[in-house]
Amino acid sequence: MALENRLDLRLSQRLILTPQLQQAIKLLQMPQLELAQTLNLELVENPFLEEVTEEPETEEYVSEEEGSPPPEDDAEMPLEGLINFGSDEYFDERGSDGRDLGYFSPGLEEQPSHELFYAKKPDLYDRLFWQLRLCTADDEIRRVAEIVIGNIDDDGYLRATADELASAAGTDIDIMEAAISLVHSFDPPGIGARDLKECLLLQINVLNLGGTLVQRIIENNMEDLQKKRYSNIAKQYNSPMDDIITAVKIIEGLEPRPAVNFTGAETNYIVPDVFIDKTDEGYQIILNDDGMPRLRLNNTYRKLLLNKETLTKEEREFLKEKLRLAVELMKSLDQRNRTIYRVSESILKFQMEFFEAGVQSLRPLNLKDVAEDISMHESTISRVTSNKFLACNHGVFGFRFFFSSAIQSDSGDVSSTFVKDLIKKITAGEDAQKPLSDQAITDKLKVQSINIARRTVAKYREELKIPPQNQRKKYE
């Protein structure tokens, strides 16, 4: 068969995401904090965007006599006055206006500590290096100990082996072990441990509990300790249960993460995207714009773009592109706000009983119900409800909190979120010495007309991170 070239015309339909649509989708699924960072970045990169700021009102000075200049408190003194001006006169004059200069305080009021003005709080590594500088070890061991400290993670554990550290430091294994032992002697106790067992053993050595039942349990019975098989431990050491419980309580008081109090991580608080407030006229939906820059187009650059004589072709093309991007960004932001508002309005309509009474009135709901209600695609609803939060009089909840599957009961379908809340309350109110089994929790739910299987209770309990029955048991 001979090869030949020919032209064919074909009609086809394809779904293509334009750059404008991609930007709208990207902004739609951003949480509040990430969106604020993105807008601040756009303010820097796009000259057509500027932030709307309210100019503070300035008060003009009005003198008592018309035409008289304002008083000059800090006017420069004449040269003769400076020559004959002594220190006593300086303090008398500067203290006459009631200002405390800090040199001669007449009262006994305690001044704030300089530690309150530190730009950075000392972290774990500052504390360890400070102790290293104070120790009297050999210079080589101190040098190697610096490498050991540099390999300690945020939990306080040494994640590299002694052989790896010795190879990196260019020293022998004995010096490396001595450096690790030196770091183990630092505060906080357990720092530089290579696993949990070593961490706990280092801490009981500080408590002078070496060679006791506590040490033997840590060395040999970590699995029994985790699963609370205390009877097996008592049989192994032929000890009374009271002694085992006392040793277990000492172990529970140890810190599995020795560096937990020295982490420099900042706490990130949840910022609600939507507020739903109850007023006399009903519920009001308010989009949270706190901390969000308010954008507008810069008039200076708009006028500059209209002036064709002062711009080259390249400059005009650059400004036209930036103007197009700025307009599309503002349109995408407006569309994002409208979509979030409509989804919040639909959730309020479906979950009105929750906003009135609380979690016990939460009804089953899925994304498809909201999508059909506001005539949008289900994927759009999924993007809107991802990583966003809603604040109401019952607390702050993620949007996904309001979507749950239905569970049959004698009084009708109930939300799985409500069932999980019941399981949490049941386990919180149980006897700690006789915790309830999954079957017992199932029976308690049946009393409240909720019929679910025991495996479903176990599944929900695991999702709530509630330990099983044997691990919830506590001993006095």
pLDDT in tens, 418-427: 888 899 999 9
69 pLDDT above the threshold of 50: no
Question: pLDDT confidence of 342, banded at 50, 70, 90?
Answer: very high
Of 210, 238, 262, which one is at a domain's C-terminal end? 262
296 pLDDT above the threshold of 50: yes
Pair (397, 439) in one structural domain: no
Pair (450, 352) in one structural domain: no
Pair (137, 177) in one structural domain: yes
User: How far apart (Å, rounded) are the C-alpha atoms in residues 443 and 410?
Assistant: 14
Q: Which residues fall within 8 angstroms of residue 32, CB to CB, at 6 or more apart? A: 271, 272, 273, 288, 291, 292, 388, 389
Evaluate whether residue 227 is within a structural domain: yes
Of 234, 262, 290, which one is at a domain's C-terminal end? 262
117, with CB counted inside 10 A (0-12, 13-18, 19+), is exposed
Integer distance in angstroms from the first to the last C-alpha of the chain?
A: 91
Question: pLDDT confidence of 120, banded at 50, 70, 90?
Answer: low
Pair (349, 435) in one structural domain: no
User: How far apart (Å, rounded) are the C-alpha atoms in residues 213 and 16?
Assistant: 69
239 pLDDT above the threshold of 50: yes
* Lowest-confidence pick of 330-339, 371-380, 383-392, 409-418: 409-418
Per-residue tokens: 308: 């064709």
Evaluate whether residue 91 is within a structural domain: no
- pTM (2 decimals)? 0.65
> What is the mean pLDDT of the segment spanning 170-186?
92
> What is the mean pLDDT of the segment spanning 461-471?
88
pLDDT of residue 116: 53
Q: In percent, how much of the chain has pLDDT > 90?
A: 34
For residue 440, the enclosing domain spans 406-472
290 pLDDT above the threshold of 50: yes
Pair (128, 258) in one structural domain: yes
314 pLDDT above the threshold of 60: yes
pLDDT of residue 254: 93
pLDDT in tens, 154-164: 889 998 899 99
User: How far apart (Å, rounded) are the C-alpha atoms in residues 232 and 134?
Assistant: 46
Evaluate whether residue 5 is within a structural domain: no
Average pLDDT across the chain, whole number: 82
72 pLDDT above the threshold of 50: no
> What is the mean pLDDT of the segment spanning 14-28?
78
Evaluate whether residue 116 is within a structural domain: no
pLDDT of residue 18: 74
Evaluate whether residue 237 is within a structural domain: yes
Pair (396, 292) in one structural domain: yes
Amino acid, single-letter form, for residue 340: I
Of 402, 420, 441, which one is at a domain's C-terminal end? 402
Pair (236, 152) in one structural domain: yes
pLDDT of residue 71: 46
Q: In percent, how much of the chain has pLDDT > 70?
A: 83
Evaluate whether residue 6 is within a structural domain: no
Pair (437, 369) in one structural domain: no
Pair (281, 398) in one structural domain: yes
* Lowest-confidence pick of 297-311, 366-380, 431-445: 297-311
Evaluate whether residue 32 is within a structural domain: no
User: How far apart (Å, rounded) are the C-alpha atoms in residues 336 and 346?
Assistant: 15
Amino acid, single-letter form, for residue 146: E
* 188 cis-preceded (ω within 30 degrees of 0): yes
Question: pLDDT confidence of 256, banded at 50, 70, 90?
Answer: very high
Pair (284, 257) in one structural domain: no
Pair (351, 278) in one structural domain: yes
CATH number of the domain bearing residue 413: 1.10.10.60
56 pLDDT above the threshold of 70: no
Q: Which residues fall within 8 angstroms of residue 176, CB to CB, at 6 or more apart? A: 144, 148, 162, 165, 166, 169
Evaluate whether residue 394 is within a structural domain: yes
> What is the mean pLDDT of the segment spanning 147-174?
90
Q: Say if residues 334 and 327 touch (Cβ distance below 8 Å).
A: no
Q: Indicate the number of domains in the chain.
A: 3
User: How far apart (Å, rounded) are the C-alpha atoms in residues 427 and 78?
Assistant: 82
pLDDT in tens, 396-433: 999 999 998 888 776 667 888 888 889 999 998 888 88
> What is the mean pLDDT of the segment spanning 466-473?
85
Pair (390, 452) in one structural domain: no
> What is the mean pLDDT of the segment spanning 286-306?
85
pLDDT of residue 266: 62
pLDDT of residue 226: 86
> What is the mean pLDDT of the segment spanning 335-346?
93
pLDDT of residue 64: 42
